[in-house]
Amino acid sequence: MILNTLTDLALMIFAGMFCGRMAKHLRLPNVTGYLVAGLLIGPAVLGLLSEDFLDGISLISDVALGFIAFSIGNEFKLSYFRRVGAAPIVIACLESLFAVLFVVCGLLISGQSLPFSLVLGAIAAATAPAATIMVIKQYRAKGPVTESLLSVVAIDDATALILFSLAVAVAQSVTNSGASLGASLLAPVKEIGGALVVGAALGFAFLLPLRFFKKQGNRLSLIVGFIFAGLGLAEWLGLSDLLLCMAMGAVIANFSPDVGKLMDICDSVTPPIFMLFFVASGADLKLSVLPTVGIIGVIYILLRVAGKIFGAGLGAAVCKCDRAVRKYLGPCLLPQAGVAIGLSLAAGEVVPDFAPQIRAVILCGTLIYELVGPAITKLSLKKAGEIQGK
């Protein structure tokens, strides 16, 4: 059992390295290669990795997302928000809102019921930060679009939870399911507010031992220990693990003079963790859902993209952001993965008759967005002049 697990993990790393190099030769981001590697060796194609094995290594995905959220939090410096104001918040709210509105309207026009349209449409708000962060790190992108993108994808998790909860509350009131409207509306308050409070508390707790442990190995142990603690507390308390780790990273970014050194330590150890995460994500993609989504899937996939681009552009225009931000930020917001899949499971409980359909549409969207999203993000940042060279 242990031998099989270790050899499967080794297979994932070697396949990821090979496909990552092939992607580089094709001038695609490494993360695209990792996803393709997982797709090839996963159950959907060659079947070298079993679904039971993928379920058993879900801890790797949790850890990877914890590190990613922690690094995003380090971009939340008060000096940045004093310089740009509320622009990232406005953009995140509008790109999420219009993604939902476009999809809901498209579904209603196609003849779908209001509860189904609301619940499926609300999932369109969610954006996956992992692939975006990997592209930024690989190409060392810098500039106003990159700065705005990091902030928006961080805030996006909160806006997606709020919009989904509102949509579910309305859908439940329409179907008379008996669920409490107040409880539905308070759920995201607890999940978001609690995550921010607990994450901030962990961040301040992190600062105490940081003063006494100066060696790189000790600081790495502190980082890993606090991220593990944050992920565990989030699961135990029913909070958003992404927002909790982001809040912890934000506190450290604003109150520790050593934040740059800490992020360098993270960057030195996370590449294999991130590679395993994306290969596992690719292995979870299911080609079998493609023929099952029909016109509903086409509406969801296309109108979510249109809504994200329109909302981001509108938000950037309202806040008088740089022209490059208005033009190129929206296309960088396409990737969608873990949060959307989690919301699709919750959606199935609200409209159980449509649960298989919602699941298929979201899985299909994940497959397409995750495979093409990183390449579009790279192209957009390159056109914005924030990626140099290839």
d(CA 255, CA 279): 35
48 pLDDT above the threshold of 70: yes
Element at 355 (helix H, strand E)? helix 355-383
Which CATH number is 31-383 given? 1.20.1530.20
Q: Which residues contact 264 (CB under 8 A, 6 or more apart)?
A: none
For the residues 61-71, what does the mean pLDDT come to? Answer: 83
- Tell me the per-residue pLDDT of 240-249, one tens digit each, with 9 for 90 and over: 777 888 889 8
Looking at residue 386, its pLDDT comes to 83
pTM over 0.75: no
- Tell me the per-residue pLDDT of 292-336, one tens digit each, with 9 for 90 and over: 667 888 888 889 999 999 998 898 888 888 888 888 888 888 877
Please give the full DSSP string across 66-110, using - where no structure is assigned. Answer: HHHHHHHHTT--HHHHHHHTTHHHHHHHHHHHHHHHHHHHHHHHT
14 pLDDT above the threshold of 90: yes
For the residues 230-255, what does the mean pLDDT come to? Answer: 85
d(CA 260, CA 252): 10
- Tell me the per-residue pLDDT of 75-100, one tens digit each, with 9 for 90 and over: 777 777 777 677 888 888 898 889 88
